Structure formats: C-alpha cells, structure tokens
Structure 1
C-alpha cells in the first residue's frame, strides 16, 4: 500500500496537513476554523469524521485554532505531548478526557502498518515537535516552525521520499518590513522560523536518492512570496548541485488552498 498526503493549508494564518496510509488517516494540526477545515477536506475528497486522529505539533493558534471544534464535533482522538496539552488546555475549550492521548517527543507510535515518529524542533512553544511517517519503506517528513535545523534533526529526517519543509521568510523582506523589531528578532532567532536560504542549506544536507518531492511550507504572508521562496531555494540547491528539478521537484503550499493528494 502507498502513503498519500495533502498540505491542506500552510502559512502564518493557519496550518493543517492530511496523511493517509493503509486505512489509517491523520490530520496534523488544525489551525483553521472548523468550517474552513470542512471545505479543505471536501476539496481533496476526504471526510474529517473518517480520521484516525489529530496530531498536534505545538500550541500556537495557527496550529490549533480549529482543534477543539473538530475534536468535539467528530469525537476524534487527539495526540500531543504532555507539555503541549497543558499549554493548550485553555485555548481549545473542553476536550473530553477519553479523547486525549499522550504522544511524547522522540517516540514512535504504530497504527496498523503506519509508524509515526515524533521529534523535537527549536521554536518558542512549550515543547514543539513534528512528525515522520514511515510506511512500507517510504518516509514522509513534516518540519516547520523551527528556528534552525540541528544536526540531530538532519540525522532523523535524511533521505525521505517527501518533505513538507519550512521556508518561512526572505531575510531582506523581513528586515525591511513593517514588523516591530522585537518580532523580527524573534523570527530570526534560534526559536523562530527558518528562512528561504537556511531551508535550502538544510535541504541540501538531508535530501537523498529516495527524495522526490519537497513542499515549501509556512511562508510568511508579509515577509515572503511563493515565487521568491522557490527561486531562492532553487538557486541555493543548484549552487550545491543537488539535483533540483531533476532528481526531485519543489512544490508550493498555500494558506487557503490544499495541494492535490500526492502519493509516495
């Protein structure tokens, strides 16, 4: 069996990713309204009520805005680590205890033939973590909301078949932009977000012979553009002779429109 996924929405206004394999399907984050989440699922021909569960990366609103609504409406299991549960408890409204599950950082949970591995990232949240999906020798990596990609992260995520990879901002746009200086400092810090160039440098170290698809994700509305992100990443990878456009391809994501279901 194959693994399918869609980046339902990605950006500073809301994030959600759908992953399905062999009868198991998960939503990673629910950072948009319940109504918008319904629309996004319809756009890829899937139903929220058929999900096996929701996996949470961290408690920032652009990742959990619709979480409480979806959990209550569809009685879905929700997985997060203990510190994230505590941090988002007052933000989601009541979620029944029977639906709350602990998924600790640096562990693996198995659902049927799908293994889901959690790993820590560097972001200003309680205990932020992202996920690697393993199925029948295939590997899908989700990594956004990190100030940098450490050597340890690189070791865990190397040679995936597909990546959803943060390419948050253009440093020049951010420095010249309208954000207050303290916000700029936060984004540029080790617990902020990865820039286009830094994303490409990290990609260059982790892509391998299995890599076919990289989705540029969590683009800033104010400090980036799809064309700029793709151009910056492409240029850096070309300088490193990394095989962009030949061995693997770059794909856009959007804050309001889902990517077509992709199969790996």
Structure 2
C-alpha cells in the first residue's frame, strides 16, 4: 500500500484511526506512518499560527523560497525542531523540495575560516601517534598508534621493509624432481581419482597439480604426508598462490571426509 496523501487523510482524519492502527493495516511501523503524516502536513486538529519569527509568512518565504535554505537549516539557526518549520511550510502551501534540494546550507563563497576554527580543524585531523624503532635499521620514528598495533614489526620506510624481507627470505628446497615427491604426488592423484577436489569446482580437466595443504615452506615435516596433499586443477591451484593459509581449514575438511 502506497502512502498517498489522500489515503492517509481518509484514514487519519476522516475515519479517526491512530498512526499505530494504520501501521497495522498497512504492515509497517508506526514511525513510518508518523513520518508521512508529518511530511504531508496532515493533522486532526487545525493548525494555529503564533507570534514567533517563524510564524511570519514573509520572513519564512524569504528564508525558504528566496534564499533556498533547507527547513532543517532554518530550524537549526532558530534553535527549534525541524518539524516546527516543516509544519509552517506546509501550512503556507509552499512546495516541499526533494531530498537532493533540501538542507543545503548557503555556500561559503570564498569566506575564510576564523583562526579558532582553523585550530579546531587541525586538532581534529591530528591522529594519535607514538614513537617506535624500525625493526630493520633500529632508527626511531613516529607512527600512527593504530598502525603500530596492527603489526608486530614496524619499518621507517619501504627500503627497510624490502631489505628485511630480502634478508629473512626462506629459500625452499626444490623437491619436484625427487623420487619421494613423485611417489607422494602419485598417491595423492590416485586417492582423489585424478580430479580436482576444490569445493564448488566440477572441472574434469586432466591439467592437475598435487597441492600441499600445509605449505612445505612452513611445515617441511609434512611435505610427503599424503594427508597433507590434495588434487587441484590448474585454475583452482592458481587461486591459492600467496593465500595458502586461507585455504588450510577448508581443504583439511575435504581430505578428512574422503578418509572417513
């Protein structure tokens, strides 16, 4: 059911239903009904204009229509609720501007900030920082506190980071031509029927590889354990490059189900 102005007026004013009763009939929340009633300016009691500044038709016309201020902007300037200004706009019969046109404050048009405002802006942009030492060169430097807590190792620049990786690079032994590796690979292929066992992959390709579930670089003691191997097609094997740790739990469960 669409919240048309005519429908809500009929139910709320003519039939005298409450916002909660209308919400139950339509199948929505009471706040949604109240919001629409407020936006359409539908009231059970007649609206009365007082003697406040915002009750002055000419003044409000100048602010809302000529200066094109949003009703929430006007309300904020006067220190009243936005519904107070909205109700006057609807009462005076002016067209309510759409979401993209409302609440756009007047542009600054080149006006400069005050010194006090600039100081507030600068303080808001200064993040909490801490002094620490570089893991590689041990030089002290300043770092954002959140970044400091993200990693156990912190580097003063990219050069130190690359140098650390180079010095601590783990060079793995090439076992692909060994007899033990070929025997391990054959056992993995036979167990898996020479087909890819990645969940969700139904490839029948013979272009396959025996993948180490626990990387042989990190777990060299498991490199020839058949339970640490699984058959993957070329496409699925490429998906694991550099992200082997993310696939461990899933692939271990696949092998366990095959062994059960």
Looking at secondary structure, tell me which structure has more helix per residue.
2
Q: TM-score range by the shorter chain?
A: under 0.3
Looking at secondary structure, tell me which structure has more strand per residue.
1
Greater RCO, 1 or 2 (C-alpha within 8 Å, sep 6+): 1
TM-score normalised over the length of structure 1: 0.18
TM-score normalised over the length of structure 2: 0.18
Which structure has the greater CA radius of gyration? 2
